[in-house]
């Protein structure tokens, strides 16, 4: 038995059937002739005759339902993947990608920095602590990393040498340093011990405001050094070469 479809005519065993139509669904090609109701479909290879019309209608309905189910399943899978990606994105960077400071007002910028500082310190953060020493640079050095999810939001670095000791704290938003606190304690073996506290407010990797103890002072070269060290410490989390990050200018 041979089948052909040419210009609206369905040819079966060399007989012409008028008013024929082609129907394509997925990999199936249907040839439907209402004269005399001969139905056939083709999938990959081979042509199979279906008769009567009701059988074609049932088959067509089943395939339409099957196709709708596939489309629905595809939509569900796409939605599920999208939700998972959004969740992963939030886990990777729970702080979001927007800059912390979105104002040109100094007071508003400092306020935003303080609010983020307080928010970070109110969280229960995961921490990792590492020890290191470098001759002529630091004794009993430690570096502690604090994470919100999988993102480092805070680093505390401590050390001592001779009669002096220090503690430096670095705060990050979306991977960018926005605040640093520095405390230096030192003095002669016999004599008065002095304590100096410095706070660095930072916007777009530039000093925004610097305070020494409780006074606002002009930003100096130390502020730029703090910013550079903040990023060196992020890199050192992977290399664990803390001496290179903290002892080399």
pTM: 0.61
DSSP H or E stretch at residue 115: helix 106-121
Give the whole-angstrom CA distance, residue 91 versus residue 85. 10
DSSP H or E stretch at residue 234: helix 221-239
Comparing 70-79, 119-128, 168-177, 202-211, the range with the smallest average pLDDT is 70-79
The answer to whether the CB of 217 falls within 8 A of the CB of 125 is: no
Of 143, 170, 137, give the one whose Cα is nearest residue 237: 143
Res. 142: pLDDT tops 80: yes
Give the whole-angstrom CA distance, residue 169 versus residue 187. 22
pLDDT higher at 94 or 92: 94
When pLDDT is cut at 50, 70 and 90, the band that residue 80 belongs to is low
> What pLDDT is attached to residue 155?
98
Of 42, 63, 41, give the one whose Cα is nearest residue 50: 41
Which residues 6+ apart lie within 8 Å of 88 measured at CB? none
Res. 227: pLDDT tops 80: yes
**Read out DSSP for 20-84?**
EEEEEETTEEEEEETTT--EEEEESS-EEEE-SHHHHHHHHHHHHHHHHHHHHHHHHHHHHHHHH
pLDDT higher at 73 or 11: 73
Of 194, 172, 168, give the one whose Cα is nearest residue 181: 168
Give the whole-angstrom CA distance, residue 152 versus residue 149. 8
Give the whole-angstrom CA distance, residue 63 versus residue 83. 30
Residue 208 three-state SS: strand
Res. 128: pLDDT tops 80: yes
């Amino acid at each position: 038995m041979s089948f052909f479809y040419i210009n609206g005519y369905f040819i079966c065993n060399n007989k012409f059937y008028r008013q024929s139509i082609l129907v394509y669904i997925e990999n199936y090609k249907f040839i439907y002739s209402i004269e005399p109701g001969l139905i056939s479909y083709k999938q990959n290879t081979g042509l199979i005759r279906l008769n009567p019309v009701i059988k074609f209608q049932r088959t067509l309905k089943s395939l339409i339902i099957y196709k709708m189910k596939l489309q629905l399943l595809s939509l569900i899978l796409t939605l599920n993947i999208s939700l998972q990606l959004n969740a992963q994105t939030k886990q990777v960077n729970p702080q979001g990608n927007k800059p912390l400071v979105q104002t040109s007002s100094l007071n508003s910028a400092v306020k935003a920095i303080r609010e983020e500082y307080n928010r970070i310190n109110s969280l229960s953060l995961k921490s990792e602590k590492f020890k290191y020493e470098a001759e002529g640079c630091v004794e009993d050095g430690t570096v502690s990393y604090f994470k919100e999810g999988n993102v480092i939001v805070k680093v505390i670095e401590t050390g001592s040498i001779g009669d002096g000791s220090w503690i430096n704290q670095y705060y990050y938003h979306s991977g960018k340093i926005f605040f640093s606190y520095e405390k230096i304690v030192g003095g002669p073996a016999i004599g008065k011990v002095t304590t100096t506290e410095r706070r660095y407010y930072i916007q777009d990797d530039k000093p925004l405001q610097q305070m020494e103890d409780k006074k606002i002072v002009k930003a100096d070269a130390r502020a730029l050094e703090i910013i550079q060290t903040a990023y060196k410490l992020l890199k050192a989390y992977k290399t664990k070469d803390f001496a290179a990050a903290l002892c080399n200018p």
